[in-house]
Structure 1
Amino acid sequence: MTEQIGFIGLGYMGHGMAKNLVEKGFPLTVMAHRKRETIDDLKQRGAVEVETARAMAKVCDIVVLCVTGSTQVEAILNGPDGLAAAGKPLMVIDCSTSEPAITVRLAQELAPQGITLIDAPLSRTPKEAWAGTLDVMLGGASHDVRRARPVLETFAGRIVETGATGSAHMMKLLNNFVSLGYGALYAEALMLGAKAGVSAQTFHAVIGGGRMDCPFFQTYFEYVVGGNRDAHKFTLDNALKDLTYLVNFASASAAANPVGAAVRNSYALAIGLGRGGDYVPMLTDALALANKGP
C-alpha cells in the first residue's frame, strides 16, 4: 500500500519538493502556509490541506519537514497541536538544516512514542527542487533509510547515506561551511579587487572556466555580474544560522575553528548592516558597503 505523505515547510525548496511528491504518485497532505498561492498550486495538483501538524499526523504515515531549523522542527513535533500530539506511530524526515545534537536528542525522546525521526538535509537550489534533482544527505538506521528512500527519490537526483541519525545534519553543516566559506572569500576578494581597479567581470573571467570554477561560483556570479537576484535564493539570515550551529558544535567539542569563526563573522557583519533578508551572493554588496572609504 502506498504510504500517505505529509509535508510541512512550503518555502523556496519545499514547494518544488512537494510538487514532485504529488506528481509522482504519493498521496500528499500539506499544511497552511503564509503564501496561499503555494498551497493552492499543490491542491490543484491533488494535495489535501489540513490546518495543524496534529491533523496531518492523524492521516499520514510519513511527514517531511523543510523548515528553517531546529527551533521550528521542535515546535512542529512537540507543540500543543504538533505531530506527537496525534499519539500514533509516524516517521518524520527532517530535510531542514538542523542542529545535529538537537536532532539526536529529539530522535531519542520521540522513539518511545512510536515516532521515528531521521535527517535528510538538502544541497542545491530551488531550481533543482522543482526539477527533482536535489542532492540529499541521509542519516538513520538502515531499515528506516530503506523506507524513506522512495519518498526522497521523488525530488532527489542523488542520495548519500551518512550513518546514524544526526550524521546527515552534521554533514550538511560541513557542506554549508565550505560553500558559505567560498561565498565569504568571493565577497572579500571582489572588495579588494575593486579598491585596486579590478572589476567583477575581470574576476569572473579569470576564475570562471579555471581550476577554481564550480557550480556554486557560477550561481553566485549570476548575481554579481549577471544581476540575477534569484540565482541563489538562500538568505544571509539562514547562512548565519547554519554557521552558528557549526560554531556551537565546535564549542561543545572544545575545537578551535578559526576559519569557521571568521566566515561566520562575515555573514554577521552583513546582517548587522540590515541585509539579513538578502541572498548569499549579495554578501558582496554588504562587504563593499562596510569597506567604503572616504
Structure 2
Amino acid sequence: MKIGFIGLGRMGRGACENFVKKGHDVAVYDVSADAMEYFRGKAELASNPADLFERSEAVLLSLPSSVQVEAMCDTFLSCGVKDKIVIDLSTSYPLSTKKLHEAFKKHGGILLDAPLMGNPDMAAAGTISVTVGGDEADFQAARPIFEVFTSRADYIGEAGSGHLVKLALNFTGLMYAVTYSQMFPLMEKLGLDTQKLFDIICEQKTNCGVFQFYGQKVKDRDYRMDFALAFGLKDLGYVKRLYEDLNCPAFALDGALDLLRTGLKDGRGGHDFSEAAAVMRDYLEL
C-alpha cells in the first residue's frame, strides 16, 4: 500500500519513520523544508498535499490542530476521496472530526481518528498506542496500517471517539499539572520546604504518574521542553468548547485557561507546559 504522511513534527516524524524502516512505499509532506529534507533519500518528497494525496492509497495526518486538519481534508475532498483512507493522528476537536467523517463517507472515502498516545521516543520506536474512532469495518480494514507504527490500537466507537479519549486524558493530566504549577509556588512563597512536601505527597494517595513527572518538574523549576504550553492551551480550549456546545459551565477549567493564556501573552507558548509555574512565580515575586 502506498502511504502518504503529512506533518513531520516531533511525533509525526517518528511515526512516519516506522513505515520507511519497514520497507513501505512512502511519500511525505510538511510546511517545513527542514522536516522534509530529513526524509530525502528515504521517501518521496511531495510538492504539495494534493500531490501527495493523489499518489497515495492511505494518508496519515499529524498536525497541530483541527484548523490544519480541516484544511487538509477540504483539499482531499476536492481531489476526490473515493476508496482512500485518511487517518488523523492529531489531537483534534471531536465534533469537527464527526463532520469530516460524514463528508468522507458521503463521497466513498474513509476517515478514522486515531490520536497518538505517548512521546516522540515511543513514536520513533513504534511503541506508541492509539485510540480509534470511526466505522468499525473501516478500522479493521486499516488495522495493517496501525500495526506498522503502534504497539496497540484500540477501537473505541463512532467517529470522534478516539479524539474524545485523547481529550479526556489530556484534560485530566493537564489539570493536574496546572494544580502543581499553582500549589508549589504558593507553598514556596510561604516558606515551606518543597522537597519535603514532594516526598510526603509521594507517600499519599495524591501520588500518581502525573505528579511524579510534572510535580517534580515544577518543584525543581525544570522547564526543559516536553510538551508545549500552547499545545496544552489548545487541548484544554477544545474541552472548553465541548462544554460550551452543551451549554454547560466549565468551572475549574476556566481558571486553568486564564493561567495558560497569561503564559501565552508572556511569550511562553513555545516553552514547556510546566512554565505555567513560572507565571505563578512571577505573580508571587519568587
Say whether 1:114 aligns with 2:108.
yes
Measured in 1, the distance between the counterparts of 2:68 and 2:185 equals 36
What is the letter of the counterpart of residue 57 of structure 2? D
1:220-273 deviation digits (Å, cap 9, x = unpaired): 35644383613x2x2111111111111111111122321222222222222132
Name the CA shift for 1:76/1:209 in 2 (closer, same or farther; >3 Å): farther
Equivalent position SS for 1:154:
helix
Number of the residue aligned with 2:259: 266
Supply the AA of the counterpart residue of 1:53.
Answer: P
Change (3 A) 1:258 1:142: same
- CA deviation profile, 1:138-159 (whole Å, cap 9, x unmatched): 1111111112222223332332
Selected match of 2:233 from 237, 240, 256:
240
Aligned length: 284
- Cα offset, 1:202, TM superposition: 3.4
Q: Name the residue aligned to 1:125.
A: 119
2:47 maps to which of 25, 47, 51: 51
Question: Could you tell me which amino acid in structure 1 is paired with residue 224 of structure 2?
Answer: R
Query: In 1, are the aligned partners of 2:223 and 2:274 still within 8 Å (CA)?
Result: no
Map 1:202-241 → 2, pairs under 5 A: 202-208=196-202, 211-220=205-214, 223-224=217-218, 225=220, 227=222, 229-230=224-225, 232=226, 234-241=227-234
Name whichever of 253-262 and 120-129 sits farther off: 253-262
Number of the residue aligned with 2:14: 16
Per-residue CA deviations over 1:164-205 (Å, capped at 9, x if unaligned) read 011111121111110110110110111111112234433443
| Equivalent residues of 2:81, 2:104 under 8 A apart | no
Which stretch shows the higher mean deviation, 120-129 or 262-271? Answer: 262-271
3-state DSSP of counterpart to 1:153: helix
Taking structure 1 as reference, are residues 98 and 159 closer, same or farther at Cα in structure 2, changes over 3 Å only? same
SS of structure 2 residue aligned to 1:106: helix
- Counterpart mapping for 1:1-294 below 5 A: 3-36=1-34, 38-44=35-41, 46-78=42-74, 82-89=75-82, 90-208=84-202, 211-220=205-214, 223-224=217-218, 225=220, 227=222, 229-230=224-225, 232=226, 234-292=227-285
User: 1:127 is aligned with what amino acid?
Assistant: D
**Secondary structure of 2:192's aligned partner:** coil
How far, CA to CA, are the matches of 2:46 and 2:252 in structure 1? 44
Tell me if structure 2 keeps the 8 A contact 1:236–1:277. yes
* SS at 2:253 equivalent: helix
TM-score, normalising length from structure 2? 0.91
Q: State the alpha-carbon separation in 2 of the partners of residues 137 and 145 from structure 1.
A: 11
Does the 8 A contact of 1:18 with 1:42 survive in 2? no
- Alignment partner of 2:210: what SS? helix
Amino acid of the residue matched to residue 63 of structure 2?
Answer: V
Q: Deviations over 1:1-59 (max 9, x none)?
A: xx2111111111111111112212322110144151x3233234x21110111111111
TM norm structure 1: 0.88
Offset at 1:75?
A: 0.9
- Distance 1:292-1:142 versus aligned 2 partners, 3 A rule: same
Letter in 2 for 1:170: L
CA distance in 2, matches of 1:212, 1:155: 34
Deviates most, 52-61 or 26-35: 26-35
Structure 2 unmatched ranges of 5 or more: none
Range with bigger deviation, 277-286 or 196-205: 196-205
Q: Which moved more, 1:180-189 or 1:160-169?
A: 160-169
Aligned 8 A contact 1:54 1:84 in 2? no
Distance 1:51 1:216 in 2: 41
Which piece of structure 1 moves more, 182-191 or 256-265? 256-265
* Kept in 2: contact 1:93–1:117 (CA 8 A): yes
- Secondary structure at the residue paired with 1:268? helix
**Greater Cα shift, 93-102 or 152-161:** 152-161
